[in-house]
């Protein structure tokens, strides 16, 4: 399949254009996952905001995570669907810059937010008697603010440096998204310094939060080993298991692309790995938290019953 030419300044997102049959399948799959992402994460946000039982620090951070996932997918998927559906594979330079800045900011925010959520689980398990004192509303807002500011700060630095690289007329991005590892490959100058900068930023925003998560769960494991109570273990798995599964899925995919962007594995499988953390994982997050969490399922049942009773009263009048 021949990829169309771009007008001056526009970029060509090559994506999966060399596999037209795969594009048709991916269009359907990506559309389904995107709709599930919107519905699932919106349900989590509404349940956390409307049900008083879920107005706790854990669900405050979960609401932030769901909002990040909705925005993250929306910054990528509509353009991807447009490119998969038709022959046009172009994106304007402005559109590419916006996608780069927004997706990088939200992805970076999620990295830090997952570490914040791990600290919340540490406080809940290791400091249960002082949990409400430690995780007071002002601290929760500050921690969420730090996550968002970290994402914005990272994208302003990395995104600006990447977009200012001279490209000497190179406009073909061998990816389906305007992403830093793909964009720096368009440069017609030595990009070693940029690769070092990308690696260092990845260490700070990927490995440092991951290290904090591991430390938090290390302390949690120590507490659980001392207690050796089946009830305590069950409760801890209920509150920590969902978060830990999300961490494994998110960090396991995104580190493969950003820690070693020039490895043969990242180059050959990069597009499929990126599909996982931009399309699939935002869909799985609400499913994981809903299916594995009794509080969320209980809140959804209460909201459904409340809606049904209100509807019955209206119809009875």
Q: What is the CATH number of the domain that holds 75?
A: 1.20.1070.10
pTM of the model: 0.87
CA distance 314 to 306: 12
Please write the tens of the pLDDT for every residue from 296-309: 777 777 877 776 76
Tell me, yes or no, whether 28 lies in a domain: yes
Tell me, yes or no, whether 1 lies in a domain: no
Distance of CA 202 to the CA centre of its chain: 15
Tell me, yes or no, whether 262 lies in a domain: yes
Tell me, yes or no, whether 48 lies in a domain: yes
Tell me, yes or no, whether 33 lies in a domain: yes
User: Do residues 89 and 3 lie in contact, with contact meaning Cβ atoms separated by under 8 Å?
Assistant: yes
Tell me, yes or no, whether 4 lies in a domain: no
Count of domains forming the chain: 1
pLDDT beneath 70: ranges in the chain? 1-8, 228-236, 238, 260-268, 291-293, 307, 309-317
State the residue range of the domain holding 78.
11-316
Tell me, yes or no, whether 90 lies in a domain: yes
Please write the tens of the pLDDT for every residue from 226-259: 876 666 666 667 678 888 888 988 988 888 777 7
Tell me, yes or no, whether 2 lies in a domain: no
């Amino acid at each position: 399949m021949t990829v169309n030419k771009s007008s001056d300044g526009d970029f060509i997102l090559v994506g999966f254009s060399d596999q037209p049959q795969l594009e048709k399948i991916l269009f359907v799959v990506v559309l389904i996952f995107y709709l599930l992402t919107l519905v699932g994460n919106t349900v989590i946000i509404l349940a956390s905001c409307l049900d008083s039982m879920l107005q706790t620090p854990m669900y405050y951070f979960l609401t932030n995570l769901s909002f990040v996932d909705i925005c993250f997918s929306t910054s990528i998927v509509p353009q991807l669907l447009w490119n998969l559906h038709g022959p046009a594979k172009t994106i304007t330079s402005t559109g590419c810059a916006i996608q780069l800045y927004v997706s990088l900011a939200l992805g970076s925010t999620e990295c830090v937010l997952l570490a914040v959520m791990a600290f919340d689980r540490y406080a809940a398990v290791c400091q249960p008697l002082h949990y409400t004192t430690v995780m007071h509303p002002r601290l929760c807002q500050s921690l969420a603010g730090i996550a968002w500011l970290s994402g914005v700060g990272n994208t302003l630095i990395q995104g600006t440096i990447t977009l200012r690289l001279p490209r000497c007329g190179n406009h073909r991005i061998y990816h389906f998204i305007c992403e830093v590892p793909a964009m720096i490959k368009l440069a017609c100058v030595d990009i070693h310094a940029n690769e070092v900068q990308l690696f260092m930023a990845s260490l700070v925003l990927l490995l440092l939060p991951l290290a904090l998560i591991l430390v938090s769960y290390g302390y949690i494991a120590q507490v659980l080993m001392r207690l050796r109570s089946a009830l305590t273990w069950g409760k801890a798995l209920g509150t920590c298991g969902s978060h830990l599964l999300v961490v494994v899925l998110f960090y396991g995919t995104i580190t493969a692309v950003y820690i070693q962007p020039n490895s043969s594995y990242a180059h050959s499988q990069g597009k499929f790995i990126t599909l996982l953390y931009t399309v699939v994982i935002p869909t799985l997050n609400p499913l994981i938290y809903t299916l594995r969490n009794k509080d969320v399922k209980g809140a959804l049942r209460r909201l459904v019953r409340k809606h049904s009773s209100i509807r019955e009263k209206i119809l009875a009048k």
